[in-house]
Structure formats: structure tokens, C-alpha cells
Amino acid sequence: MRNSDHPLPGGMASAETAPAGLVRHISKRFGATLALRNVSLAVHRGEALALLGENGAGKSTLIKILSGVYQPDEGEILIDGKPQVFAAPPDAIAAGIVLIPQELQVAGQRSVAENICLSAIPARRMLGFVPSLDRKRMRETSTAILARLGSSIDPDVKVGRLSFAERQMVVVARALTNQAKVLILDEPTASLGDADTERLLDVLVGLKRDGVAIIYITHRLPEVRHIAERCMVLRDGQLAGEFSAQNFDEAAVTLAMSGRTTVLVESRVSARRDESVLAVPLGRRKIAVASGEVVGVAGLIGSGAASSVRKLFGLGDQTIQVDTGAGSLVIDDPGAAIKAGFGFVAGERSLGAFPNLTVRQNIILPYINAYSNPLYFHRKRIDSAVADLLTLLDVRPADPSAKMGALSGGNQQKVLFARCLIGQLRLLLLDEPTAGIDVGAKARIHRLIDDFVRAGGSTIVASTDMPELVSLCDRILAVRAGTVVADLPRGNGFDEPAIRSAMGNT
């Protein structure tokens, strides 16, 4: 945009020189909250534009306007130089704008081929007039698109059997059936390991060569150098900075995002206390977790690391037994886990968030009995506790009556963490706890985890973010094929290559 090859959003241009996607002077208000103020951006064919900003900066609102979910109060959208009005997402898709949200939208019980062709189902006519599904052409189409992406996924397999990374590739393939001119990806690597991240970025580089324009939202700044020619920073609903690949500087970008030069995520000093120990099943072993201890679970995508933690919250298909100094706890569903004092924050927010309920309801729901009795509902206590948590976690907007689904993904993650803090927990279970949140929010959550264990709680955290585990944990368990293959203490510092080797990531 501020470059001789990319003119500023302004006057008309020919279809050949016009940006693939352009928004001019967009503003959007939700009640008293001004989510976007006079924002303009352009993205050109074969270019990737990184869109950066802290949670609540306006990124989600902007891409929802581009993809037809919201309509702007002011401003306009142009595709290939032609003004567009999107009343709903199908209008945006028809114009060539395809959004891949952080929470993937797939039909788990349908095949890969059916999911890829979902918005352009091939049909044929039997006896010349009876329409029927053309499965042969559907399979050929999906196979060709997957091959273009360098993927060997079986088009006949059910999507529900795929890993997160494979499901994401299916959604990218679906975007190509829609003849995407502008592909928008919202935190696409938040739940991916290093190898899957590299594969996805390579696929996107190939799409750029084919002339697809990409808008890429991420909190992982090193990825910007890999994928983007330019980046734009939003702060408080306004454009706060613009950088080219040639002058991209992480300190300057962080300053533009937050108004602060650096945000430190410090390694914790162990607060372990051995007087209270839980013995929890992880894979085929019972693992002791001490009071005041953070235990990390590290594994590649599909290793069973994340599912092992989910099972401890009663989300598996088997009943588990947790041994305590006072006896045993039987966990056969999430209700039993909550009653036992376990809290869980999932990396896939769809597992824990209720988008049609308010923020207040999402926080208090599992612990409503603690704030009520048969004769009285303690609304003032609830409102006070929720308000304190929204301030503590810097949830934006800090409105307990807002619908959960109206918040950005990062702010939804903060609300789910607030839910755990409002309960009287003994064990905090975390699966990718900082996926899709900015560096400032990440530091804040790390400090809250540290406060929790210093108060005597125990934490088990599964993450594909190795620096996060190294920063947070007293011990790290390496998991491979559902089995704990190494138990590595912090000691004088973790040997990160040894952890990766134990995981099988050599």
C-alpha cells in the first residue's frame, strides 16, 4: 500500500491493476463499542498481507465484514476494482472471498470429497431429467485439488477421523473449489505443530504463485517473514502501523500492536510442594503430580498428548481413576471432573464455548451451584466475580452481557480461562491454553498459571508450543503413540533437543 507497486486505497483502477481485495474507510460499531474506525487496506494478487493486532484490536470484525458476516456502518468493499455489498457470507464467496476461521467448519460424518465439494456439489441427471449426486466427478475434483496442495489425504475417508492439520487442509481445498480470489486465514497454525505449520505455509506460498491473494492473521510473528510481503497492525480498531517484508522489525511491530516495546514471558521458578500428590493416568502409566507443580505433556500432532489431557476431564470413552492421599476419584464425565475440582481449557474452543450464551453465563455455568441455593440466587456476587475476572484477563469488550460468539477467538479463550479461575480447583488441565492469543495475553495467562500453582494447585498442560512448555513447566512428559516415553525434569534447564528427540521430532 505505501509502496510504488501498491497504490494507496483511493481512486479507481483498471481490473488488471486493481487490488484483488480492497476495503476503504470501514467503520463498525456494536452498541457503545466502536470496533473499527476508518480502516482501509488492500491486498493484491499473488500477495500475502499479514493482519496483526492484540485480541480485541478489530481483526475479527474486519474479516467478518470482508466475508459477509457483518455489514459495515461506513465504508466500502471492492473486489477487482468493483464495489460489492455482502448481505451474507454466500455473497462474499460468490465474489471470490473465502474465510477459513480458526474453528474449522467441517461435516465430520461425511467424506473428505463431500466436504471439499460442499459448496459446489457436482450433479448429473439420470434419464435426462432426475438430478443425482455425481460421486465420480466429486472424487475426481477433490483428488485433483488435494494433489495441487501436495496432500495425500484419502478422499473417501470420513473427515471426523482426520487430525486437525488434515481437516484444515480439507477446508483449504474447499476454498479452491470456490475459485477464491482472496483467501483469509484466521490463526491457521494456532493448533499445529512445527512440521504441519511448515507444510501449510508451503501450500500458501504455492497458492500465491497461482495468483491467490492471502490475508493472514497470526500472533506468531516469525511466520510473517515466511509468508507475507507486507503486514498491517490494528490497535483499538484503528490502523496503527504498516510494514513491508524488507523493514519488518518485531520490536517495532510489538510497539505498534500494544504500545509497549516488549512483553516478557518469563520462565517460572518452581513452587513444587510434595505434601499433596495426585496420581493420574496418562497413557498406560500413572503419573504423580505434586501440589504447586506444572507438568507439561509434549507430543507431535496425533501422538495422543492432547487426548490424554482431555480424558482426565472425562472427555474420553473410558472411566478413569485418579488416586489421592484420601482415596480415589472416579471420573466418567465432565460433571464428575468438575465435582472433583478439575478445570479444563481446550485448544479447540468449540469444545468449551457456548456462542449463543453470554460471557457471564459461559464463565459461571459449571459453578452455578456455588452461587445459589434453593431460596436465593447471588446475582451481585456473580456480577462482581465476573467483572473482576474480565478486568484481570483484559477481555475486550469487558461486557458480561455480550454474546460469547461476538467476541474474537482470543477473547473467547480468555473467557474460558476465567471459567477455571472462578471455580475452587485442585487440578487445572490445559490443552493449547494460549492458542490464538497475542503475546501480551499469553504473558498474562502464564502469570495466572504461576499464581495458581503457588497457591497450592496442580497443573497439567499439553502444548505443541515447545518454548511455552519450557517456560511454564517443572517437568515435561514426552508422549509418543499414546505412551509416555520420557519424564524430563527441569533441573538446571530443559534440554529442548532431547525433548524433541523423545517425541520423535528429530
Phi, psi values for residue 143, rounded to 5°: -65, -40
DSSP 392-427: HTT-SS--TTSBGGGS-HHHHHHHHHHHHHHS--SE
Alpha helices in 108-215 (DSSP H): 112-116, 135-148, 164-177, 194-209
What b-and-e string marks burial along 291-319, b requiring 16 or more CB atoms within 10 Å of the CB? bbbbbbbbbbbbbbbbbbbbbbbbbbeee
The reported pLDDT for the residue numbered 441 is 78
Q: DSSP class of residue 269? A: P
The reported pLDDT for the residue numbered 56 is 79
Provide the pairing of β-strand 48-52 with 213-217: parallel
What b-and-e string marks burial along 134-160, b requiring 16 or more CB atoms within 10 Å of the CB? beeebbebbbebbeebebebebeeebe
The grid coordinates listed for 204 are: 500458501
Q: For residue 463, what are the contacts with CB-CB under 8 A and spacing of at least 6?
A: 296, 297, 298, 430, 431, 432, 433, 434, 469
The reported pLDDT for the residue numbered 387 is 94
The domain limits of the chain are 19-258, 276-503
Pick the CATH number of 276-503 from 3.30.9.10, 1.10.150.120, 1.20.1600.10, 3.40.50.300: 3.40.50.300
The grid coordinates listed for 301 are: 500432532
Cα R_g (the chain), whole angstroms? 24
Q: For residue 83, what are the contacts with CB-CB under 8 A and spacing of at least 6?
A: 76, 77
Q: For residue 441, what are the contacts with CB-CB under 8 A and spacing of at least 6?
A: 54, 55, 393, 394, 410, 413, 414, 434
Diameter of the chain measured on Cα atoms: 78
What b-and-e string marks burial along 329-344, b requiring 16 or more CB atoms within 10 Å of the CB? bebeebebbbebebbb
Q: For residue 13, what are the contacts with CB-CB under 8 A and spacing of at least 6?
A: 7, 19, 81
Per-residue pLDDT of the chain (506 residues; tens, 9 = 90+): 344 344 444 444 445 567 888 899 999 998 877 889 999 999 999 999 999 988 778 998 999 999 999 999 999 999 999 999 999 999 999 999 999 888 788 888 899 999 998 877 776 666 555 566 788 889 999 999 898 888 888 999 999 888 777 888 898 888 888 888 999 999 888 777 777 788 889 889 999 999 999 999 988 888 898 899 999 999 989 999 999 877 788 888 888 887 765 544 455 555 555 556 788 888 778 899 999 999 999 887 667 788 888 889 998 888 899 998 778 899 999 999 998 999 999 877 777 889 899 999 999 988 888 787 766 778 888 999 999 999 988 888 899 999 998 888 778 888 998 998 888 789 999 988 887 777 777 888 888 899 899 988 999 999 877 888 888 999 999 988 888 888 988 876 777 777 878 777 65
The grid coordinates listed for 409 are: 477467538
Which CATH number applies to 19-258? 3.40.50.300
Is pTM, for the whole model, over 0.85?
Answer: no
Residue of 404, 418, 421, 397 whose CA lies nearest to 359: 404
